[in-house]
């Protein structure tokens, strides 16, 4: 079932003139007068309703507070506040799905990193090993922070949206972590040689690809849920 329209959309798309010849025995339910050339009937094209009223009578009556059919009481449109609420709910579903997909991708890059580490184990000297351990730790930290931010928008929680300032801060932190990790993976790759170097560079480009997706996700969080710009 499609969601109920907003008031402007209802007026524009769901109200149509009655085309059949005027029947003088049928009266407008709002003013009890018969239809005439200056009191033309229009009907609401809403599933299960389609009731007709005098055009001028109906338009005078429509308001945010009066959003249902006077005859059958079906909801015709949503009040602006409810409509905004619905739009946010839909954006929240998309954002939750985006986070899930991104966590899945991060998991996958994480698995590539640990597979690489097993292959590189014997070839890493003390210094590179320490740097690499830092990467692994920060990578785990990134996944954890990502999960924490995703949880803020989780639909299981019926609490209101978190305050936009805090959300921006959390997203900026995530972006920074992505950036640092990208640099560090590059630095370690720099110090490796042969196939191990190439493999780590490949993993780094997969990681960059996930990071690029993050930018779009952050944009959808800020624009879709808060109506602001992410930059
Ligand atoms: Zn009706
Ligand atoms: Zn009327």
CA of 76 to the centre of ligand 1 (A): 9
- Give the contacts of 17 (CB within 8 A, at least 6 positions apart): 40, 41, 42, 55
CA of 92 to the centre of ligand 2 (A): 42
Q: 148: which 2 tokens?
A: 């924490």
Low-confidence ranges of the chain (pLDDT < 70): 1-2, 157-159
Please tell me the predicted confidence (pLDDT) of residue 134.
87
Nearest ligand to the C-alpha of residue 55?
2
What kind of fold does domain 80-226 have according to CATH?
Answer: 1.20.120
Nearest ligand to the C-alpha of residue 51?
1
Q: 62: which 2 tokens?
A: 């429509």
Please tell me the predicted confidence (pLDDT) of residue 157.
59
| CB-proximal residues (5 Å) to ion ligand 2 | 28, 30-31, 54, 57
> pTM for this structure?
0.69
Please tell me the predicted confidence (pLDDT) of residue 1.
53
Q: 6: which 2 tokens?
A: 């907003």
Please tell me the predicted confidence (pLDDT) of residue 147.
93
Report pLDDT digits (tens) over 89-129.
888 888 989 999 999 999 999 999 999 988 888 888 888 88
Q: 96: which 2 tokens?
A: 């939750």
Report pLDDT digits (tens) over 3-16.
788 888 999 999 99
| Burial class of residue 225 (count of CB atoms within 10 Å of its CB; 0-12, 13-18, 19+) | buried
């Amino acid at each position: 079932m499609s969601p109920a329209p907003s008031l402007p959309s209802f007026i524009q798309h769901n109200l149509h003139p009655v085309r059949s010849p005027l029947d003088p025995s049928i009266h407008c339910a709002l003013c009890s007068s018969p239809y005439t050339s200056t009191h033309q009937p229009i009907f609401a094209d809403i599933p299960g309703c389609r009731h007709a009223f005098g055009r001028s009578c109906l338009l005078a009556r429509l308001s945010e507070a009066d959003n249902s059919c006077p005859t059958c009481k079906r909801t015709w449109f949503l009040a602006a506040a409810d409509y905004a609420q619905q739009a946010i709910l839909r954006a929240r579903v998309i954002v939750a799905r985006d986070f899930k997909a991104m966590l899945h991708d991060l998991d996958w890059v994480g698995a590539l990193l640990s597979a690489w580490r097993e292959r590189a184990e014997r070839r890493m000297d003390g210094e590179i090993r320490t740097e690499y351990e830092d990467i692994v730790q920060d990578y785990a930290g990134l996944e954890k922070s990502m999960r924490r931010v995703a949880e803020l928008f989780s639909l299981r929680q019926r609490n209101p949206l978190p305050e936009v300032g805090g959300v921006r801060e959390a997203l900026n932190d995530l972006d920074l972590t992505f950036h640092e990790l990208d640099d560090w993976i590059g630095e370690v790759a720099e110090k490796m040689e042969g196939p191990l170097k190439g493999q780590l560079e490949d993993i780094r480009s997969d990681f960059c690809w996930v990071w690029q997706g993050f930018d779009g996700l952050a944009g959808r969080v800020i624009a879709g849920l808060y109506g602001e710009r992410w930059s």
